[in-house]
A and B are shown apart, each in its own frame.
Chain A
């Protein structure tokens, strides 16, 4: 990010009405710009307005503060201050407008490369951070800030490191990760490790129950085969005994044939009855007449309009109508006029289908009494069942006869057969519950140990696996974000410590040059700057330490900012000034200094000597006292407004001496 200050404009405010353009005639910005403003010209006001315009803080000003920017004796109801910047070479202007009558402050932002003009303080998001009040103090630098760098109660040094060495970007990543976690986790129910453990325990129980039931099912299936085989054997043995014994042989054969015949007949009749009862008219005679009544009471048949209106349109284009008559103009008109009588909503399609179905049932069997036919079939079914029961009774009676005659073997076979049939019934019932379809509600309270249906267990397993998968993702994300947070925290701490050490060393090297006659050493940089063996420092020393620190941190910073300094050599001794002046051109990509002429000596000439890319501006108010300066103004490079004069050039800058300023 590169931010450059290209100028500012002031109109009807306490500072002079003037437009300062820092851009040189060739379109480039000078590396160093010194603006000489004698005391009382509004230097402090200009710097204050510069900050307030850039950081948007004027919206919080109270009436007293707003009125403090009104020029004494001025009747202007409004005033404005505009700052012009370049953001990565794209122009951005912010205007601060003050309405003194209503004590209202408003902003206007002009950023042609992104949205044009906005009637509020709205710099592009990428530079918002750099225009905050805290950050601006780093590049609109004054003695107060330098003092705070050495103040135990302040953390200015760390703030400067975080901002200029971009440690804040790590925080940006950390905060984004935290926000993502909040967003994603708020959509889930259970999201903790404990919740995940509980779900996994439930899955474990379900898997165990599934395994148990599958084993049980296999065992039952195997047992059933053996049981069925044994039942068949016993049944055959009993039948053989009955069919070979002289006293039962004939009757048994007869009963066996009857039993087989009645069983087959019963099966056939059952199938026929089931088929017959599918026709509702066969169930009761009243149903047929009721349906007929319903059909007659339904509306006259109509066609669904959305699908059938096109039919009439196309019919009108035919040469012959569907009734066989010629399609005349008259017939077409009649179709157009009457078609709507045959069209209805979409529901009419359903009603038509219903009517057609009723009709087909009634017409198909109109000559038969379906109910009577069904009654006959049910009667035959009853008879068949009775025949089968009788045949079975005969077989049972013969078996009993043999048992009564002392045939214990048949008795034993029968007892075993009954027992096996009982077990077979139980196993079939158990298998039925194991193979039962899953009808359970998802949140049923049936405990896992009571579940028998494999389909149900599988359904619960699918559900819990899905939940575990979801929670695992959330829990994993949380773990990952914790890892990321640790990395960010450690990285910031490690980087800050390393940068503090390096800056201490670099700043001390600079201080040795700048304050070679009165050396001062930085012991360490923690949250602020701590000096070796001394708590405080003189104003000049403090400013020098501030410069040395800022130079070091700006030099390593990856963002380019203009450094705007009020009285850069004000309280500094002549010898120190020279050293500072030599260093300033290396300080940053743009240095803008507000000076008074007493700072000239030992500072400006050295600065000029060390940089061939400087501009020099002199600004003073037009007052009774300064009228004497008018004849001495150069013929070129002078801008006059109603209350100020701006002169460009080193010659005038350097000749604007103490005597002149004293008279202002």
Chain B
């Protein structure tokens, strides 16, 4: 089962707005699709969460040291 086309498009745009790589929207869509099929247990949710976190890029703040 896929998710709503409008939601999918909105998600891709929202990821781009945050200057995040395409991987982020792909992984979020994979998670959403899995959720749309049925409830996931804690460890499955954690797996989706971890791979999503790995794909999010954050800029180092200025004056690190």
Contacts and interface: CB of A to CB of B under 8 A. Distances in A.
Contact of B58 (A165, A172, A480, A486): A480
Contact of A172 (B24, B35, B46, B63): B35
Given A480-B56, A487-B20, A498 B9 contact: yes
Given A126-B39, A166-B36, A176-B49, A484 B56 contact: yes
B11 A495 contact: yes
Nearest to B1: A558
B11 A491 contact: yes
A377 interface: no
B4 A487 contact: no
Given A176-B45, A483-B58, A495-B10, A165 B53 contact: no
Interface string B30-49: 01100111110000011011
B22 interface: no
Contact of B14 (A166, A193, A494): A494
A274 interface: no
Contacts of A125: 39
Contacts of A494: 9-10, 13-14
Interface in A404-456: none
Contacts of B48: 173
B3 interface: yes
A203 B64 CA distance: 11
Contact of A180 (B2, B24, B49): B49
A490 interface: yes
B10 A486 contact: no
A481 B17 CA distance: 15
Interface in A540-594: 556-559
A200 interface: yes
A477 interface: yes
A479 B38 contact: no
B53 A200 contact: no
Nearest to B32: A169
A495 B35 CA distance: 18
A502 B2 CA distance: 18
Given A125-B39, A480-B58, A495 B32 contact: no
Given A200-B64, A491-B7, A476 B58 contact: yes
Q: Chain A interface mostly helix, strand, loop or mixed? A: helix
Contacts of B56: 480, 483-484
Contacts of A170: 7, 11, 32
B1 A490 contact: no
Nearest to A482: B58
A169 B8 CA distance: 12
A487 B36 contact: no
A200 B61 CA distance: 13
Interface residues of A, number: 44
B3 A169 contact: yes
A165 B3 CA distance: 8
A664 B17 CA distance: 65
Contacts of B45: 176
Interface string A10-30: 000000000000000000000
Contact of B4 (A88, A126, A165, A481): A165
A166 B24 CA distance: 19
Nearest to A204: B65
Nearest to B3: A166
Interface string A343-376: 0000000000000000000000000000000000
Interface string A373-406: 0000000000000000000000000000000000
A539 interface: no
Contacts of B6: 165, 495, 498-499, 502
A480 B17 CA distance: 15
B7 A166 contact: yes
B1 to A, nearest CB: 6
Most A CB within 10 A of own CB, among B6, B14, B52, B64: B6
A490 B20 CA distance: 13
A167 interface: yes
B65 A201 contact: yes
Nearest to B42: A176
A336 B64 CA distance: 77
Contacts of A201: 65
Given A173-B28, A203-B65, A483-B56, A490 B35 contact: no
A240 to B, nearest CB: 58
A487 B24 contact: yes
B56 to A, nearest CB: 4
A490 B14 contact: yes
Q: Which 5 A-B pairs have the closest CB atoms?
A: A494-B10, A495-B10, A490-B14, A126-B39, A491-B14
Interface of B: 1-4, 6-7, 9-11, 13-15, 17-18, 20, 24, 28, 31-32, 35-39, 45-46, 48-49, 52-53, 56, 58, 61, 63-65
Interface of A: 1, 88, 124-126, 165-167, 169-170, 172-173, 176-177, 180, 193, 197, 200-201, 203-204, 476-477, 479-481, 483-484, 486-488, 490-495, 498-499, 502, 556-559
Given A173-B31, A499-B6, 11 more contacts: A125-B39, A166-B36, A167-B4, A480-B56, A481-B53, A491-B11, A494-B10, A498-B6, A499-B7, A558-B1, A558-B3
11 contacts: A169-B36, A176-B49, A203-B65, A480-B56, A484-B53, A487-B20, A488-B14, A490-B17, A491-B13, A558-B3, A559-B36
